[in-house]
């Protein structure tokens, strides 16, 4: 317990240091409104590569250097995250803390399902406290350093607490189910765990937009106007049965632009974030919504749930044999009695984290492929290649615009900005009569009342 207070004191110290150092950074956003460089105008000399380069050159060298630094720093952050998580888990095991948490849980109840759930609550609370310093650095300080975050510490911390609250509701059920599988199914537990991860992911993706997302942001119907008309028209033209178009105050947390189409059957809704509304033009909004509708029409959420559950299944199989090896070496020293003992959860998490780290290129490639499909769908649905190219350039404020081939395969869960602009210009080459590409500029942000 004394260690806990030392960690807390360190966190507070770090916090004050951060407040003292927080400084405003250069504005990295592209100007509002649609951007069409001369080389990206249709004409007899239209060249896909030249048009793409003209878009890429909209970024100043400083903007590009900063975006590269942010994104490449993220590669290292993945490694630090893994090592930090392993360190904290070993601390929990080697100090006997994990064993004592299980003993305390067993004093409260002797029923395995109940003490497993109680252990889960203890574990999540402890991990949240111990991981707090890294989370403050990665999710608060660094985001401010690069001008991507908008929240001061108080509201940010409150959001973290809400996230912890959601975790405390969900995790005990997940652990109860998986540990029950370990107790009942013996050596075949990992097959059932893979099935459970499919059911839980599907269930969570259904509950998320209705119960979780509104905890963090305000969702309001989008007022009548050009944007609402255009988005609904795009939805109806693509067999998306909805009249619900909402927007939410993402600018509370971030400067990033985004949108999504969520829900099933009667709960289907189209959500735009207010940064998208306030910084971009109608052709950009249509292009982004065409992409999001692509995810919906192509049934990506179900497909990705199936793929990631299959990957988790392999992860559980890996845990099944590697846990026995680790248990034989260290288990007795740490008071872990076997795979069915929740006191071994930190060890399970280390193994799972190593597995996820090693398979990151696989999971990224699975998602990136779906994103590329949605890109192609969106270009055909919205028919706004310059809108899509401009919004791809806006995303480059936090995503390196032109990575190497293998860098993209390993680290990117979306096509790079370069690939997206190139695909847009390829589409424009084949559709030279495109009205927006031939129309005069400027096309500026639509006027909307603030989402408050």
Measured from the CB of residue 264, what is the shortest distance to Zn ion in angstroms?
Answer: 18
Q: Which residue is listed with tokens 């890429």?
A: 56
Contact 394, 257 (CB under 8 A): yes
Binding mask 212-241 for Zn ion (x = CB under 5 A): ------------------------------
CB 262 → Zn ion: shortest distance, Å?
A: 12
CB of 370 to Zn ion, least distance (A): 7
Nearer to Zn ion, 287 or 349 (CB): 287
Q: How far is the CB of 194 from Zn ion (least distance, A)?
A: 25
Give the residue with the Cβ less far from Zn ion, 92 or 393. 393
Instruction: Considering the complex, state which of residue 171 and residue 298 has its C-beta at the smaller distance from Zn ion.
Output: 298
User: Which CB, 171 or 376, lies closer to Zn ion?
Assistant: 376
Q: Least distance in Å: CB of 353 to Zn ion?
A: 26
Instruction: Give the integer Cα–Cα distance in Å for 130 and 167.
Output: 16
What is the Cα–Cα distance from 337 to 354, expressed in whole angstroms?
Answer: 22
- Residue closer to Zn ion (CB basis): 274 or 371: 371
Nearer to Zn ion, 348 or 370 (CB): 370
Of the two residues 337 and 373, which places its CB atom closer to Zn ion in the complex? 373
Q: How far is the CB of 294 from Zn ion (least distance, A)?
A: 8
Binding residues for Zn ion restricted to 106-135, rule: CB under 5 A:
none
Q: Tell me how far apart the alpha carbons of residues 275 and 29 are, in angstroms, rounded to a whole number.
A: 11
- Binding residues for Zn ion, rule CB under 5 A, total 2
Q: How far is the CB of 412 from Zn ion (least distance, A)?
A: 12
Binding mask 22-61 for Zn ion (x = CB under 5 A): ----------------------------------------
- Please identify, using beta-carbon distances, which residue of 175 and 374 lies nearer to Zn ion: 374
**Between 135 and 369, CB nearer to Zn ion:** 369
Query: Measured from the CB of residue 414, what is the shortest distance to Zn ion in angstroms?
Result: 7
Q: How far is the CB of 320 from Zn ion (least distance, A)?
A: 34
Contact set for Zn ion, span 355-384 (CB under 5 A): 371, 374
- Cβ proximity to Zn ion: between 293 and 374 the closer is 374
Question: CA–CA separation, 216 vs 144, rounded Å?
Answer: 19
Q: CB 367 → Zn ion: shortest distance, Å?
A: 9
**Full 3-state SS string of the chain:** CHHHHHHHHHHHHHHHHHHHHCCCCCCCCCCCCCCCCHHHCCCCCCCHHHHHHHHHCCCCHHHHHHHHHHHHHHHHHHHHHHHHHHHHHHHHHHCCHHHHHHHHHHHHCCCHHHHHHHHHHHHHHHHHHHHHHHHHHHHHHHHHHCCCECCCHHHHHHHHHHHHHHHHHHHHHHHHHHHHHHHHHHHHHHHHHHHHHHHHHHHHHHHHHHHHHHHHCCEEECCCCHHHHHHHHHHHHCCCCCCCEEEECHHHCECCCCEEEECCHHHCEEEEEHHHHHHCCHHHHHHHHHHHHHHHHCCHHHHHHHHHHHHHHHHHHHHHHHHHHHHHHHHHHHCCCCCCCHHHHHHHHHHHHHHHHHCHHHHHHHHHHHHHHHHHHHHHHHCCHHHHHHHHHHHCCCCCCCCCHHHHHHHCCCCCHHHHHHHHHHHHHHCCCCHHHHCCCCCCCCCCCCCC
Q: Which residues bind Zn ion (CB under 5 A)?
A: 371, 374
């Amino acid at each position: 317990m004394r260690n806990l207070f030392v960690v807390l004191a360190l966190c507070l110290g770090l916090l004050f240091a951060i407040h003292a150092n927080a400084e405003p950074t250069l504005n990295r956003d592209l100007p509002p409104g649609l951007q069409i460089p001369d080389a990206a105008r249709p004409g007899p000399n239209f060249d896909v590569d030249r048009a793409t380069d003209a878009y890429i050159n909209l970024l100043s060298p400083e903007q590009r250097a900063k975006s590269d630094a942010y994104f490449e720093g993220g590669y290292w952050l993945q490694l630090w995250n893994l090592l930090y998580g392993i360190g904290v888990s070993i601390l929990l095991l080697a100090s006997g803390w994990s064993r004592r948490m299980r003993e305390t849980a067993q004093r409260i109840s002797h029923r395995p399902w109940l003490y497993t759930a109680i252990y889960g609550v203890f574990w999540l609370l402890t991990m949240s406290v111990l991981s707090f310093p890294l989370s403050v650095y990665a999710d608060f300080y660094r985001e401010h350093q690069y001008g991507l975050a908008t929240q001061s510490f108080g509201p940010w911390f409150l959001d973290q607490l809400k996230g912890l609250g959601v975790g405390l509701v969900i995790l005990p059920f997940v652990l109860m189910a998986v540990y029950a599988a370990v107790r009942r199914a013996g050596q075949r537990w990992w097959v059932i765990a893979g099935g459970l991860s499919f059911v839980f992911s599907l269930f969570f993706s259904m509950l998320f937009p209705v119960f979780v997302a509104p905890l963090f942001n305000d969702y309001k119907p989008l007022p009548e106007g050009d944007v609402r008309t255009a988005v609904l028209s795009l939805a109806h033209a693509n067999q998306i049965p909805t009249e619900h178009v909402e927007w939410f105050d993402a600018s509370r947390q971030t400067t990033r632009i985004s949108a999504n189409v969520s829900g099933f059957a009667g709960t289907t809704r189209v959500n735009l974030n207010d940064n998208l509304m306030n910084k971009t033009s109608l052709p950009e909004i249509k292009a982004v919504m065409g992409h999001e509708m692509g995810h919906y029409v192509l049934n990506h959420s179900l497909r990705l749930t199936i793929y990631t559950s299959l990957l988790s299944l392999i992860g559980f199989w890996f845990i099944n044999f590697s846990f026995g090896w680790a248990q034989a070496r260290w288990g007795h020293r740490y008071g872990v009695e076997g795979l069915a003992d929740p006191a071994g959860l930190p060890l399970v998490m280390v193994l799972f984290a190593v597995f996820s780290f090693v398979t990151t290129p696989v999971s990224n490639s699975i998602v990136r492929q779906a994103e590329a499909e949605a890109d192609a769908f969106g270009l055909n649905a919205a028919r706004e290649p310059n809108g899509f190219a401009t919004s791809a350039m806006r995303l480059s404020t936090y995503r390196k615009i032109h990575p190497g081939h293998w860098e993209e395969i390993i680290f990117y869960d979306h096509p790079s900005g370069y690939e997206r602009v190139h695909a847009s210009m390829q589409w424009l080459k084949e559709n030279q009569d495109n009205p927006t590409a031939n129309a005069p500029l400027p096309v500026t942000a639509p006027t909307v009342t603030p989402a408050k």
